[in-house]
Each structure stands twice: as C-alpha cells, then as structure tokens.
Structure 1
Amino acid sequence: METKYASTAAVAVKARQEASTVFLAKVFNWMAAGLGLTGLIAWLTASSGLFQAIRPLFLPLVLIELGLVWYLSARIEKIKAATATGLFFLYAFLNGLTLSVIFLAYSGASIAGTFAITAAMFLSMSVYGLVTKRDLSGLGAFMFMGLIGLLLASIVNIFLASPALYWAISLIGVFVFVGLTAYDVQKIKELGEQGIMSQGGEAVQKGAVIGALALYLDFINLFLMLLRFFGGSRD
C-alpha cells in the first residue's frame, strides 16, 4: 500500500514538473519575442534617423512605458489575454524607440559584447533560480527594496551629477537585477508547478505574458547597467 502511494506521489510530482517546464518555455518564448522586437525597433530607429524626429517625445514615451508596466501588473487578472499580449508587445515596441539612443551613443561591437555578457549572466541566474532548493522570497523582497533605492538615488543624481554615485548606482544595479532574475524565475517555476497549465488558455496566456514582462525587465535593465561598464563610445 505504501509503495502504491509513493508511486502515485511520484507520478504527481513528475506531472507538476512537466507542466512547469511547459509553462516556463512559454514564458521564455514570449520574453525572447519581446526582446527581439525591442532590438529590431531600436536598430531601425537609430539607423533610419527616426530618433531625431521622436527626440522631443522621449520623456512622454518613457512615461507611457511606465504606465503600461503598471497597468499590466495591476490589471492582469481583469483584462483579456489578447489585450495583455498586445500591451506587452506595445511596451516592447515603445521601449525599442527609446532604447534606440544606445545605438547612437555606443559602438555596435560594444553593444553586441555587452548583450552576450548579459545573456550569459541572465542564463546563469535563471538556471540557479530553477535548480536551487532555497526559497528566494526573502532575496526578492531585499532586491525590490534595492530597486526602490536605485530609483531614488538616480533621481537625486540628476541634480548632483556625481560620477561616483553614478558608478555606485550602476554596480548595485547589476547585483539587484541579477538577484531579481533568480527570484522571478523561481516564482514562475512555482506558478507552473501549482497548476496554472490546468486553468485554461486565458489563464496560461496571461500568466506567461506577465512572467515574460518580469524577465524582460530584468534582462533589459541588467543590460543597461552592464553597458555603462562595457559600452564603448561610437567616437
């Protein structure tokens, strides 16, 4: 009897793990699609000269992006999956417009090199988030507080223009987004194990989109922080 129960439990665990794997694949696919769209739009905007036309709209675009992230995060349970997906790609598109500035400020080789470094670090922390037995909830809360601190310090440094504070923010930012990557991947893995794949297409799609948004933000911000260290000027 005990053997039967143990076998049943093992089957259930395996089923949860397989469902989690499928869900994670969906999340990473959407994240990759968002990153691809952002990169393409950024390159086209910079290479075509369109950035000069949208320069006066730079701040409004950034504010719209922040609004989209807030809306998606706060309303994901209320909106339809198709709407969530559309808003995610709209955000990726707008982010491509604003990030086109990096193609004007940094050389293509340094951007490609920094992207490779970011991808390696992101992959390493994703694997850690997947395989570790440690509960990363405490780390996630700590990193979120660090993120708030970074935002406040960045605002202060707009007025101080301190090079030392700039580099400190960049270094701390790398650690913050590395930690958030591991935390977010573990959280997405747990969501998959808790049965989201059995809740219907709408729930799966919305869960995958909001997970993709979290990982997309981790990757982009880690890339931008590392670009401050490894980016070479076009001049």
Structure 2
Amino acid sequence: MQYQTISQPGALGLEQNKVLRNTYMMLALTMVPTVIGALIGLSSNFSFMAQSPIMAPLLMFAVMMGMLFAVSALRNSVWGIAMLLGFTFVAGIFLGPILQHALNLSNGAQLVGMAAGGTGLIFFSLATIATVTKRDFSFMGKFLFIGLILLIVASLANLFFAIPALSLTISAIAVLLFSAYILYDVSRIINGGETNYVMATMSLYLSIYNIFIHLLSLLMAFSGDRD
C-alpha cells in the first residue's frame, strides 16, 4: 500500500514530464511549416485584402477556426499531428500581409527580428517561471477566457471602425493576454490539467503566434521608419 502511494505520484510526474517534453518537441517542429508558409506568404499577392478590408480578415479567421476545430477533433490520432502542422503552415501564409508591410519599411527587417526575439524571450521566460515554480495558474482560466472573448469582439469591431488608437490598444492587451496564457498553459501541463500534447502544442503555438503579430504591430507603429 505504501509503495502504491509513493509510486503513483512518481508515475504521474513522469507522465507530465513526457507530455511537456513532447509538447516542446512538437512546438519546435511547428516552426518549420510556419517559416515555409511565411516565405510563401511574402511572395503572395494579398491585394484582395485592400479591396475587401472587412471580408478578407473574416475569411482568414473562419479558415483558421475551422482548422482549429479539425485539430481538436483529430487530437488523439496521427491525423491530429498532420492537421496541426497543416494549420501552422496556413498560419504562416497568413503572416504574409503584416510581414510585407513591415519589410516595406526601411528598418522592417530589424523590426521583424526584434518581434521574433521579443516573442522568444517572453515565451522562454514565462515557460521557465511556470516550470521552475510549479505553481498552479489554473485560477487564471476564467479571467483569460473572458479577456479573449472581449479581445475578439474588439478586434472584429475595429474591422468596421478602423481606429488607429484602438488597434494599438488591442495589440498591447493581446501581448499581455497571450503572455498570461503561456503561464496558464504550461502550468496546466505540469499539474496534469492537459495530457494531450497535440492540444498543448496548439495552445502554446497560438499564444506565440499572436504575441509575435501584435508585438510586430506595436514596433511598426512606434519605431517604423517610413523614410
């Protein structure tokens, strides 16, 4: 009886470490199709977005949401991995418009590098905090979900109003919100709240993806050199 009491937590800890390890490996793998997709997006023509400034983003959002549901539905099979990699490839292509806009600036390459470096620094710092402290951040779940819904609503509303100040506010809040999601998601893995590494990878990928986009938007707004 004593052996079972001791060994079960040990076995649980090993399983959680396995999920975390597989998640980080899969997360690193998702960067490959993302970069390939981004290179394709850079050479693609997104002029239709200027012609349909509202419908085009909504269509892109619908495509990504559909693929997210497919990943969730297939998460327990090898097709879930394939769909996840497919999703990250499409997400990379959808980086095309913002990367094209950034690289049209004289210091655009520097800003993209700063956004990528800042995103990496945020991820590794917060993931390390969650891993080392092993603190349970699950209490943040409801607040983060409400914040995410409000952020989506505000983003959709700004498609119609196109207020620059609101765009900057949304980007600043998004960086903070998805940074908090990294703490929350890594904590869930460590504490056994998430045992599927496909879903864990998708959650962390979305946080990294959104932090990069909104951090780049802020850098372009405040440091972009248009001369």
- Structure 2 length-normalised TM: 0.82
**1:194-213 alignment, distance < 5 Å:** 207-213=196-202
Number of residue-to-residue matches in the alignment: 214
Distance 1:158 1:228, change over 3 A: same
Question: Is residue 2:175 matched to residue 1:186?
Answer: no
* Aligned partner letter, 2:70: Y
RMSD across aligned positions (CA): 2.7
> Secondary structure of the equivalent of 1:214?
helix
Question: Is residue 2:208 matched to residue 1:216?
Answer: no
Q: State the Cα distance separating 1:30 from its structure 2 match.
A: 0.9
* Aligned partner letter, 1:17: G
Instruction: Point out which structure has higher relative CO (alpha carbons under 8 A, 6+ apart).
Output: 1
Once residues 178 and 217 of structure 2 are traced to their aligned partners in structure 1, the CA distance between those partners, rounded to angstroms, is: 14
Q: Is the 8 A contact 2:136 2:188 kept in 1?
A: no
Q: Is the 8 A contact 2:46 2:97 kept in 1?
A: no
Q: State the Cα distance separating 1:150 from its structure 2 match.
A: 0.6
**1:12-161 alignment, distance < 5 Å:** 12-46=8-42, 49-52=43-46, 59=57, 60-73=59-72, 75-76=73-74, 81-106=77-102, 107-161=108-162
Once residues 100 and 155 of structure 2 are traced to their aligned partners in structure 1, the CA distance between those partners, rounded to angstroms, is: 22
> Secondary structure of the equivalent of 1:51?
coil
> Secondary structure of the equivalent of 1:25?
helix
Q: State the Cα distance separating 1:148 from its structure 2 match.
A: 0.5
* Aligned partner letter, 1:225: H
Q: State the Cα distance separating 1:19 from its structure 2 match.
A: 2.8
